[in-house]
A and B are shown apart, each in its own frame.
Chain A
């Protein structure tokens, strides 16, 4: 079955960097777009970034633009989120999600279990 497993979360100081990974299995990773979505403690879902199947199109939420970078490595069936200049408001559970199609405007149909990022000194 289709499965996504996130890793790389942890506690990090403000201003530092962290890279999240998302390992995919059970589907042909290379033909689907992929998303990152986050959820701060006690808050709702916030979309973070999306990448198209070929990696040529990437879009970001204004709150992370210029600080976060989404990328993919199809040979490893893995999605990444490089997070720089981290702030307290970036503290959240980060979910990766498979898009229902190849392009950025497809919704998220399969979700991972999430990885927790805590930004604190």
Chain B
């Protein structure tokens, strides 16, 4: 069981907006930043969002992150077929003195 909780699946049609949640606690997301990674099956993960809200250069602005209390969220607007992938949230945990990942959310573009 993961320290960070994500829904196992999400879906949407092309052009729609989809949101993926990540629930943590005061020792991880509550006191540190949430980060999001995209992984197309068979490839290495890619950083999508860091410091809860920031996008690395090259990541389309269709991807956005937010944080409220002990939860973080990833929103994808204008959904495209190439967005079909697994998405993971991650954060540093002050109590565990370790990084923790969510269990991952498989996004299907219908």
Contacts and interface: CB of A to CB of B under 8 A. Distances in A.
Interface in B76-103: 86, 88, 90, 92, 96-103
Main secondary structure of the interface of A (DSSP, over half): strand
Interface in A100-121: 100, 104-105, 107-114
Interface residues of A, number: 23
Given A44-B103, A45-B39, A107-B90, A61 B46 contact: no
Most buried by B among A35, A60, A105: A105
Contact of B37 (A45, A61, A62, A105): A45
Contact of B46 (A44, A47, A60, A111): A111
Contact of B45 (A45, A50, A59): A45
B101 A45 contact: yes
Contacts of A44: 2, 86, 88, 101-104
A95 interface: yes
Instruction: Please classify how large the interface on chain B is, using the bins under 10, 10 to 19, 20 to 34, 35 or more.
Output: 20 to 34
Contacts of A111: 44-47
Residue among B2, B44, B47, B102 having the largest count of chain A Cβ atoms under 10 Å: B44
A46 interface: yes
A61 B44 CA distance: 20
Interface of B: 2, 32-33, 35, 37, 39, 44-47, 50, 56, 86, 88, 90, 92, 96-104
